[in-house]
Amino acid sequence: MDEHAASWHGEGKGVVLLSGGLDSTLVAKMAVQELGRKNVTALTLYYGQKHEIELEAASDVAEFLGIEHIIRELPPIFGGTTSTLVQGGPKNPEGSYASIAESKGVSPTYVPFRNGNLLSAATAVALGLEASWLYYGAHAEDARNWAYPDCTPEFNGAMANAIYVGSYGKVRLITPLQNLEKWEIAQKSFEYGSPMHLTYSCYNGREQHCGTCPTCVARIQAFAKAGMTDPVRYEIPIDWGKLIEDFKY
pLDDT at position 77, please?
A: 84
Residue 108 has a pLDDT of 81
241 vs 9 pLDDT, higher one? 241
What's the chain's average pLDDT?
A: 89
165, exposed or middle or buried, with CB in 10 Å at 0-12, 13-18, 19+? exposed
Contacts of 242 (CB under 8 A, 6+ apart): none
Under 8 Å CB-to-CB from 58, ≥6 apart: which residues?
18, 19, 20, 24, 42, 44, 69, 71
Mean pLDDT of 192-209: 95
3-state secondary structure 56-77: HHHHHHHHHHCCEEEEEECCCC
At 133-192, the pLDDT tens digits run 999 999 998 888 777 899 999 999 999 999 999 999 999 999 999 999 999 999 999 999
Flag whether pLDDT at 196 surpasses 70: yes
Number of domains the chain is built from: 1
Specify the pLDDT at position 139.
94
Average pLDDT over residues 13-35: 97
The pLDDT score that the predictor gives to residue 144 is 81
For residue 50, the model assigns a pLDDT of 72
Residue 105 pLDDT more than 80?
Answer: no
Please report, for the domain that includes residue 28, its CATH number: 3.40.50.620
Residue pLDDT, tens place only, 119-137? 999 999 999 999 999 999 9
CA distance 106 to 97: 13
The whole domain housing 205 covers 2-246
